[in-house]
Amino acid sequence: MTNRVYPYYPSWDGKETKPVTAKLVELCKARWGTKSLGTYVNRQMRSGAGLSVHATGYAADIQYKDEAQAREMWNWFLGSSVIDGKTIQHSKHLGLCELHWYAYGEYGAGYRCSRGEGKTGVKIYTATDNAGPGNGWLHFEMAKQSAEAFETAWRSLPKP
């Protein structure tokens, strides 16, 4: 199976929060009581190496209440389920392109679709190779898709 191509390099100014990103924020709030820390903003990455994916409108930072909730969310988005005898990788089914958990372990962890689906696509960061500081939120990047398609995919998966 071929890994998906990561679609946001280089990033561009998408001018607004995309409907799929707004739906992600809404559904996470309904399920886990999370809070959005931001979606669209036209800005450079912290490293200065180009536009942040937030500029595309397909990224969201979602605040969780504690580590247990972050772990539940991480495991659900990167988990798998058997539906009608077929194994479904949640990351692909939902159109998740990237997910960062900055407070995972000592230096954080990041999933990227180009590395594989689910936990196969996770990289555990080190002191010299990490996504930067951050604590208390997960960073999501969603594939280009309709909010309706995303919600249908979300509701078809078992709750955590």
DSSP state of 84: T
pLDDT per position in the chain (160 positions), as tens?
689 999 999 899 999 999 999 999 999 999 999 999 999 998 888 777 789 999 999 999 999 999 999 999 999 999 999 999 999 999 999 999 999 999 999 999 999 999 999 999 999 999 998 877 778 999 999 999 999 999 999 999 999 9
How far apart CA 64 and CA 22 sit, in angstroms, is: 17
Short-list 26, 20, 103, 122, CA closest to 65: 103
- pTM here? 0.94
Q: What six digits make up the tokens of 74? A: 């991480």
What sign results for the dihedral spanned by CA atoms 97, 103, 108, 109?
Answer: negative
Short-list 120, 118, 134, 131, CA closest to 62: 134
